[in-house]
Structure 1
Amino acid sequence: MGFQEIVRTVLPNGCVLIAKRVEGAPLVCLHGFIKGGMLYEEPEKMGSINLMAQTLRRGTETKTAQEIDDALERRGADLSFSAGSEGISVHLSCLPEDFKDCSSLLAEILRHPTFPEEEVEKQKLRIVNALRDAFTRPEEVSYRLFLSLAYPQNHPLHFAPDGTPETVENLSRNDVLWAYQRAVNPMRSIFAVVGDMELERLIDIVAELISNWEVKEETDKEFPPAFLPETQRREKVDLPDKLQAWITMGHKSLRRNDQRFYAANIMATILGAGWGRLFTQIRDNQGLAYAVGASLQAGLGEGPFIVRMGVNPKDINRAIDSAIAELHKIRTEPPSEDEVADAKSYLLGRLVLSMETTGGIAAMLVSCELYRLGLDYPQRAKSFYEPITAEQVKQIAEEILHPDKLAIAIAGP
């Protein structure tokens, strides 16, 4: 695929539009993001924004859910919405000749949804059933417990965005309407569209359709700082009918636009990649886990650094002790030059692979805008990673890893 320049514009309502032409691409892909997410959620209404996002395309002022489905199916197009901790994601893919019609449908859904009562109830039932299933799986239970231990109750990251079976069951259509009013706003929206069409044409189509999207009088919110606990916190949820236990452990880390992110990401990769220290020591050498990894979930807020392990219940304590030992080790001893080089190669390779499709490119452009990285970040990423030394990796580990202040969440028999 041949790449052309990128065009960026900001509409009067605050919505950011980005377009990139990729010659030879068979589909046009639009990726959107509406910032906010859990910032606009209320604890007693947890899951309302997710329910709203799942019901968003189930009817507008002029179209029923079936008519929307039929319009997309006739064109072989795909349109979906999802809610996460930081906001609502929008995904649209279609043929170039159908892009205007599909964009018109998307704009109507964003601006004039009706959230019919019967559709809200259908989505509620689907989500509640999915949550009930999730709450039987140790990996899900341990992760949700971890969030509640790692972040205080008044922090947006304390809860998972899909809520609990109890909170979702109690949601009403009015709660969904209120979630829409709070969480869907053009002034917090970013849309990137990528395909084999003239750039001006791509921008003009989207701009024409959403430039009249009305701004809601809502104060823009930012993710508050997170703080480490005074001491290590450890809790377990008993799931007596399970054969395996899951451990999720970690604590808050840093924001994506923190300049220390690149050294921290190398550190997390050395620890948590499929060839990393945790996998090698805990799974291969000691045989204490059938699955183990670590990740740095930096975002708009101070997302967590987490270690996750699936273990035999009899090995829970030994696996936790081994993981903590590896955290101490990387804080006190610089990694080898080979480890640092392998981590850099892995991260840069994944960046390239993530942009193999038009959808991947669109998602990357949204991330670049969202985290203020610059739209040329993919071309500059190597310059951020390459200068980092083994000593800098050790230094960032000292700064952001705190083995004595971990939140440790266990779920299993």
Structure 2
Amino acid sequence: MSGAATRMKTFAGVAAIAALVFAATPSHALDIKKMTLSNGATLLVSEQHQLPMVTVMVEFDAGTRRDPKGKEGLAELTARCLSQGTKDLTAPEFDQKVDFMGSSVGVSAGRDYSTAGMTSLKKYQGETLQLLSGILTEPGLRDADIERKRADQIAQIKAAEEEPGYTADVEFTKDLFGDAPYGHPGAGYADSVAKLTNDDVRGFYHDYYKLGSAIIAVAGDVTADEVKASLEKALTGLSGSVSPQPEPPPITVPAGLHVKLIDRNVMQANIIMGSGGVERSNPDFYRLKVMNYILGGGGFSSRLVKIVRSAHGLAYSVNSGFEPGKFQGAFTIGLQTKNESSNEAIDLVLQQLREIQEKPVSDAELDGAKKFLIGSFPLGLERQNAIASFMIQVEFYGLGLDYADQYPKLIGSVTKDDVLEVAKKYLHPDAMIVVAVANQSEAKIKTSDLEKAADAPSAQ
């Protein structure tokens, strides 16, 4: 659920150029060339010659789901430390070289995988690639840098813990996933990160940063043959592959509303409620996207916003979403409301879940959802870094190189019966976890399943 934000060292000039839109690259025209490097890595190349720039992203099977029990936050800390120079360049020296070229180079850890990347002007492609290669094949990982980054990570976690929304998210995640790979925040906990040693970081790097199971995506002013030759030369070492991670058992939430109350002196309650969702490979993914857009993922056009926020004035914000990954993710509804209106808002959300399960959505709702989801899709492929990230996801989740062509068809084929079917199958208003961070003396949130069941409004 909680993804680590990308921490790149970006010079202002490159940031401005990278923001330019690649309007000449509509999704249906995205040409991807696929090759395999001698070290076993999969290489995907999309030639984009509109601007003299190059983006390279390398995916490693080193996401936060790989954190060992008791060492939550290790993948995140390792990624942060890899950006701190090479064996020959200290962190300040490394940063100086990157900034001088107006390039960006860095490593970040997401839930399913970590990403090492670079963006540079075409004329600095070789030098920037050497810097990226350096932090991957011969990283500094010095004691002082690891200790500094560990302290930074702990401080950021403690600051985040002051936010009620973050607290609700962490507690919900723990309750839903338990000890499964997705059951902790990506940055870990303050106490778990404090226990991580310098050798833990070096060990995680050696265990999971292997190119034999990596995906490399390149987008920019290059040719496929040129890219392959330069990567073969630059990314020597890091041989071997990472063994697949065992899939966790399916998520089960027993019948009833399982309420966890966290008392905070806050003006408004932060509530997260939900249950198990789906993995990205689930064939119902596209029907769920349409259904969820209508329910709570479509902003002001969604039912939750129209009913809970606009019609009843019970929420400052309310939304729903599926968070699929390599493994089964979560389905969540998040809302912020006055402490005193917490019970009424929760009941109204449950009513909307039941209603979308009991009768078909309208033609207007279905058409609006499909038009938005199809129409907005190309906007996600307007920049080099977005194209490179897209290619990695397509390969990692096995979506097929023609996914950009297939997506509009998959969304466009969804019917009202499809929406009703997946709502019945994947929404569980009578078996949910509810976490509420609120001023509990004012909120008086009900914790009895029987009390909830008696009060829950039936669908109209």
Provide TM-score, normalisation by structure 2. Answer: 0.86
**For residue 317 of structure 1, what is the aligned residue in structure 2?**
343
**For residue 220 of structure 1, what is the aligned residue in structure 2?**
244
1:286-297 → structure 2 map (5 Å cutoff): 286-297=312-323
**For residue 212 of structure 2, what is the aligned residue in structure 1?**
187
1:104-119 → structure 2 map (5 Å cutoff): 104-119=130-145
RMSD: 1.6
1:48-197 → structure 2 map (5 Å cutoff): 48-153=74-179, 155-197=180-222
Deviation, structure 1 residue 211: 4.6
In the alignment of these two chains, the number of paired residues is 410
8 Å CA contact 1:11–1:211 kept in 2: the answer is no
In structure 2, the gaps of 5 or more residues are 1-23, 440-460
1:12-411 → structure 2 map (5 Å cutoff): 12-153=38-179, 155-215=180-240, 218-231=242-255, 232-240=257-265, 242-272=266-296, 273-274=298-299, 275-411=301-437
8 Å CA contact 1:49–1:183 kept in 2: the answer is no
Deviation, structure 1 residue 208: 2.4
In structure 1, the gaps of 5 or more residues are none
| Deviations, residues 63-121 of structure 1 (Å, cap 9, x unaligned) | 21112101111110012221122121223111011112211211121112131111111
8 Å CA contact 1:151–1:226 kept in 2: the answer is no
The 3-state SS of whatever aligns with 2:226 is: helix
Deviation, structure 1 residue 35: 2.5
CA 1:26–1:287: 2 relative to 1, 3 Å: farther
8 Å CA contact 1:19–1:199 kept in 2: the answer is yes
Q: C-alpha separation between the residues in 1 aligned to 2:278 and 2:114?
A: 21
Q: C-alpha separation between the residues in 2 aligned to 1:222 and 1:88?
A: 18
8 Å CA contact 2:64–2:74 kept in 1: the answer is no
Segment drifting more, 39-48 vs 288-297: 39-48
Deviation, structure 1 residue 51: 0.6
Provide TM-score, normalisation by structure 1. Answer: 0.95
Q: C-alpha separation between the residues in 2 aligned to 1:108 and 1:328?
A: 55
CA 1:225–1:98: 2 relative to 1, 3 Å: farther
Give the partner amino acid of 2:77: L
Segment drifting more, 62-71 vs 137-146: 62-71
| Deviations, residues 345-392 of structure 1 (Å, cap 9, x unaligned) | 222233211111111111111111111111221122111111110111
Segment drifting more, 347-356 vs 271-280: 347-356
Deviation, structure 1 residue 222: 4.2
Give the partner amino acid of 2:269: A
Give the partner amino acid of 2:421: Q
Give the partner amino acid of 1:60: T
**For residue 454 of structure 2, what is the aligned residue in structure 1?**
none
Segment drifting more, 138-147 vs 24-33: 24-33
Deviation, structure 1 residue 182: 2.8
Identical positions, percent: 25
| Deviations, residues 45-65 of structure 1 (Å, cap 9, x unaligned) | 110110110111113222211
8 Å CA contact 1:12–1:211 kept in 2: the answer is no
**For residue 20 of structure 2, what is the aligned residue in structure 1?**
none
The 3-state SS of whatever aligns with 2:328 is: coil
8 Å CA contact 1:233–1:408 kept in 2: the answer is yes
Q: C-alpha separation between the residues in 1 aligned to 2:165 and 2:280?
A: 25
Deviation, structure 1 residue 311: 1.2
8 Å CA contact 1:41–1:49 kept in 2: the answer is yes
The 3-state SS of whatever aligns with 1:44 is: coil
8 Å CA contact 1:149–1:233 kept in 2: the answer is no
Q: C-alpha separation between the residues in 2 aligned to 1:332 and 1:236?
A: 30
8 Å CA contact 1:44–1:167 kept in 2: the answer is yes
Q: C-alpha separation between the residues in 1 aligned to 2:278 and 2:236?
A: 35
8 Å CA contact 1:25–1:358 kept in 2: the answer is no
The 3-state SS of whatever aligns with 1:247 is: strand
